[in-house]
Amino acid sequence: MIYKKSPYIFILLFSVIFYQNSFCQNTQGFFVKGINQKGVDIPGSKKHAIPLNKSSIFVNISYKDTLGRVSKFLYGNNANPYMTQIVDQPALMSHIKTLSPNIIRFPGGNLSNVYFWNSSRDKRPVDVPEIILYGDKRVPKPERLWYGINDSPTSLSLQNYYKLLKESNSTGIICVNYSYARYGTSDNPVQKAAHLAADWVRFDKGKTKFWEIGNENYGTWQAGYKIDTSKNKDNQPELISGKLYGEHLKVFADSMRAAAKEINSEIFIGAVVIETAKEKSWEGGITKNWNDGLLKSAGSFIDYYVLHSYFTPYEQNSSPEIILNTAKTETSKMASYMKELAKLYNLPEKPLALTEWNIFATGSKQSCSFINGMHAAIVLGELANLKFGMASRWDLANGYSKGNDHGMFNKGDEPGVPLWNPRPVYYYMFYFQRFFGDELLKANTITNPDILTYASKFNNGAVGVVLVNKGNSKQVVELSLSEYKSSKKYYLYTLTGGDDNGSFSQKVFVNGETTKFTAGGPENPSAIKALSATVTGNIKFESAPFSVQYLLIK
């Protein structure tokens, strides 16, 4: 039987294709669009003594089994207005340039919601109340605002943030002040706050593509979570909700996109979402219902989802095992939950940006330890595997707080080390980016839950591998690389902790080299020689307990 072609068939086929494409994975999107392929520099080396012991771990990497792109924006960090002017600190700038984060978020953090980019301390906006309310139990007091026009040596001006980006060859991601739309006392605070954000887009002149609307606005710790309704002039409720945030986000998005069009620029707007399903009673209805209200009211206006995670249980004295396990489990939870939301609200999957991440563990100097560096290596590997578009660690510098410091560098208050001394995490992130390409490869490891392997390829054909041993036993690893030339030269770095501070050494050793100070790592990680050999067949090396190996094969 012969059938006539019908236009309805084409309509049906188009509908099916559109539906399938709407739910295909798009968790990188514009974060990888137009990015140049990544090359690699061969490090200096010295001979590697191949272990003679029997192999205990077998890893196979398929050279031709590529799994997608790796975003160059996974290695980002956060700058904030309270860490000095940065660009006038030669030691700090040298470290940042070496780290090469590629993307730096600004101005924070919680203080994004009390930040006025075009104002100075002597020109406080007249429609900002002296006391700004929060949802937690803090005693109300006059609010300290933060300003973009600021030449104080203890603060970072907007001008110097842009200079930081230029000198470190990074791009920016800017978090605009959403909460001004809540606590502002003008006749139309939402329009006023959106206009302030749009003016920043105009001032930026196309340098910044990625913009966030507010920071953790679902949290009781944020300015504007609660407002004084007696001072509000557009009948907003006392407490925020996801639905209200979504309605306001549409106003911001319209204003900012119009501003971008005026300057012939393209921008992408991120919305603050809850990163995983919330079930704990203390989080309350606002947090539990945040995503529902936001996505129903403004889902189609959002270009990417902004996630934050501090991985470990809040302010618990977590063990190394707990900390390291969260790097994989929590990242997976975030990615899975975002897929669930797309299906639940009939929305396409959006690119994912983890714009703040670190650990909450306290009590044993966990944040400043090599264990936090290992955690960072696993997080980066998981973000690559799960195809996140962007990530920025919190943060470049903060405050020592007895070793509970999220800062990557010593701000000057850590005993026994110089100003801007890098913490161990710096080295784990430096070598990861240096030895990880922009094309993901499939890595198979014979079952051992303590061993994690991440593999990649560079544009010149080199292979980059990161292997993490999060167990307390030494392993002898044998790595095979299928569909690759039989003769291979490899370059190997091993990062381990020291024997200080119990399980949470404040030092990192790179191929046996470390610092002369009480904390940190080698002075110049770029100058440390890799262990190297040429082999025909499999590559074999030792993996110490609680260590990370970075391997380049060329």
Exposure b/e, 226-249, CB count within 10 A at least 16 = b: bbeeeebeeebeebbbbbbbbebb
Residue entry with tokens 């907003």: 236
Query: What confidence category does residue 377 fall into, taking pLDDT thresholds of 50, 70 and 90?
Result: very high
CA gap 314, 331 in Å, rounded: 17
Residue entry with tokens 């490869």: 441
Query: What confidence category does residue 395 fall into, taking pLDDT thresholds of 50, 70 and 90?
Result: very high
Task: Report all structural domains of the chain as residue ranges with CATH numbers, in order of start.
Answer: 36-67+441-553 (2.60.40.1180), 103-302 (no CATH)
CA distance between the termini of the chain: 59
pLDDT 10s digits, 47-71: 999 999 999 999 999 999 899 999 9
State the chain's mean pLDDT as an integer: 93
Structure tokens given for 263: 């300057």
pTM of the model: 0.94
Query: What confidence category does residue 35 fall into, taking pLDDT thresholds of 50, 70 and 90?
Result: confident
Say whether pLDDT at 370 is over 70.
Answer: yes
pLDDT 10s digits, 492-516: 999 999 999 999 999 999 999 999 9
Share in percent of the chain as helix, strand, coil (round to 5) = 30, 25, 45
pLDDT of residue 280: 54
pLDDT of residue 446: 76
Other beta carbons within 10 angstroms of residue 488's beta carbon come to 18
Structure tokens given for 86: 């940065």
For 413, residues 6+ apart whose C-beta sits below 8 A from its C-beta are 399, 400
Query: What confidence category does residue 211 fall into, taking pLDDT thresholds of 50, 70 and 90?
Result: very high
Phi, psi of 499 (to 5 degrees): -110, 15
Strand partners of residue 353: 306, 390
Extended beta strands in 160-231, E state: 171-176, 210-213
Query: What confidence category does residue 447 fall into, taking pLDDT thresholds of 50, 70 and 90?
Result: confident
pLDDT of residue 36: 81
pLDDT 10s digits, 166-177: 999 999 999 999
Q: Kindly state the percentage of the chain with pLDDT values over 70.
A: 94
Q: What is the dihedral of CA 369, 333, 59, 72, to 10 degrees?
A: -70
Q: What is the dihedral of CA 369, 428, 80, 244, to 10 degrees?
A: -100
